[in-house]
Amino acid sequence: MPAAMLPYACVLVLLGACMAEAAGAAGGGRLHWEPRCQQPLPDRMPSTAVLPPRLDGPWISTGCEVRPGPEFLTRSYTFFPNRLFRAYQFYYRDPFCQEPAHSLLIKGKVRLRRASWVTRGATEADYHLHKVGIVFHGRQALLDVTGRLNQTQAGRDCAQRLPPAWAWLPGALYELLSTRAEGDCMAALGFTMHELSLVRVQRHLQPQPRAAPRLVEELYLGDIHTDWAERQQYRPTGYQRPLQSALHHARPCPACGLVARSDVRHPPALPAPLALPLRLGGRWVSAGCEARPAVLFLTRHFTFHAPGRSWEGSYRHYSDPACRQPTFTVHAAGRYSRGTPSARVRGGTELVFEVTRAHVTPMDQVTTAMLNFSAPGSCGGPGAWAVGTERDVTATNGCLPLGIRLPHVEYELFKMEQDALGQSLLFIGQRPTDGSSPDTPEKRPTSYQAPLVLCGREVRDSSRPPQLQKAPGGGGPGPRVAPLPLLLLVLGPASLQWL
């Protein structure tokens, strides 16, 4: 029945999921909504990487972005054939990107270097900045920035480049960095363009109701460290939410035209989103193969049982950026707290998650051998591991070799939104870039991961206590429903680097 309620859900879940749905329906009604809840299956993912990446052209944010801090922004970057680029970053006071505060104009040159050895599927690049200018869209925005700069000596030097509040001129561009200007204002402002040092361009087809599929091009740029103090030094190993080509973006996209037509003096004010109250009950799935900093590729699938506030989750890990070569799957389950509105990240809801049970399924020889050789009692009871066979690791308090510790508590930040197609999206907090877990209130995220898509609403009468579902054994690509649920993050990417 959820299929009938969400007629377009498959559109964003990638072409493959739609085809799976059709195939499932043809093969007998039973699966008719479940395929949409599958983690995108490797052989159905039509996204292809463009190698070497072609950056030329205009790229835009498709919605309001949240960076650690939090910072709310939209971006519009144009790359020219002579390797020069011009980037606009529009910053906002509010979490919906409706009230512009200030905008940055960034000009420079970028040069692609080589395929990344750290992040498979990514290309490393060098960049050089020629100019950075700032425009304030109000006196208060200027006061906010100078107030922040005033806190350090470097910042006070930098603030010299900005006018006193009474002398501020609407539309005036103040140079923060140029070939003439001495010193570096960038660090004082917490600004870097290191995102340009890791790039990936990806294409896929977006199915259209009653029309030929449409080409969508995405530009993935390097991630921003979740710890403000690390931002200047950090070289990205994961990605931010992708920009899309202004010419080939997914539709509908109410923000796209606005962002594409903007410039540093005319920032886009996005239309009010349909912010949804947090109604977690149901099943949520990754819209595609996700990349985590430090070499981790995965898909996620969560089930929340609202009546008892319990959850189940599964993370399927892969060794490749297309999520074709599975390495292992973790299923976890536990309870979660009632949510409270976040004071720090407006629009977000704070929750506490508890992970009390976990199962692990190794999916390749390397992981199986590693688990076989792990210290007795560190990951599952006595007995051998085999490829595709799930084992309970609850009794051993988790699985040390994989960085899973039980019981485990995580301080979370969630938000829900409805996209232009009427689909419900669930944003879960960004994991700390250093691979640790947000296990104290201070480490609670201030930004979000790629959203999960609602693929099945909780049926009212399903208040029975959740069962930790068995993994669908083997790595077979068959359209078996993975009744996997969701797991927040128990896995420290750092502990997985050897994979």
Ligand X SMILES: *[C@@H]1O[C@H](CO)[C@@H](O)[C@H](O)[C@H]1NC(C)=O
Contacts with ligand X, residue ranges (CB under 6 A): 143, 146-147, 150, 365, 368-369, 372, 384-385
Is the Cβ of residue 363 or residue 489 nearer to ligand X in the bound state? 363
Is the Cβ of residue 190 or residue 254 nearer to ligand X in the bound state? 190
CB of 156 to ligand X, least distance (A): 6
CB of 360 to ligand X, least distance (A): 14
Which of 304, 287, 305, 322 minimizes the C-alpha distance to 421? 287
Is the Cβ of residue 76 or residue 396 nearer to ligand X in the bound state? 396
Which of 283, 285, 279 minimizes the C-alpha distance to 338? 279
As to burial, measured by CB atoms within 10 angstroms (0-12 exposed, 13-18 middle, 19+ buried), residue 256 is buried
Kindly report the number of other CB atoms within 10 A of residue 86's CB atom: 18
CB of 484 to ligand X, least distance (A): 23
Kindly report the number of other CB atoms within 10 A of residue 43's CB atom: 8
Is the Cβ of residue 140 or residue 463 nearer to ligand X in the bound state? 140
Is the Cβ of residue 4 or residue 375 nearer to ligand X in the bound state? 375
CB of 142 to ligand X, least distance (A): 8
Is the Cβ of residue 58 or residue 138 nearer to ligand X in the bound state? 138
Tokens of 143: 């006061």
Is the Cβ of residue 144 or residue 320 nearer to ligand X in the bound state? 144
Are 123 and 113 within 8 A, CB to CB? Answer: yes
Is the Cβ of residue 383 or residue 441 nearer to ligand X in the bound state? 383
CB of 325 to ligand X, least distance (A): 16
Is the Cβ of residue 155 or residue 429 nearer to ligand X in the bound state? 155
Rg (CA), the chain: 23
CB of 6 to ligand X, least distance (A): 41
Strands 65-67 and 404-405: unpaired
Strands 198-208 and 123-136: antiparallel
CB of 443 to ligand X, least distance (A): 30
Q: Which residue's Cβ lies closest to ligand X?
A: 384
Are 273 and 415 within 8 A, CB to CB? Answer: no
Max CA pair span of the chain: 74
CB of 151 to ligand X, least distance (A): 9
Beta bridge partners of 404: 399
CB of 326 to ligand X, least distance (A): 15
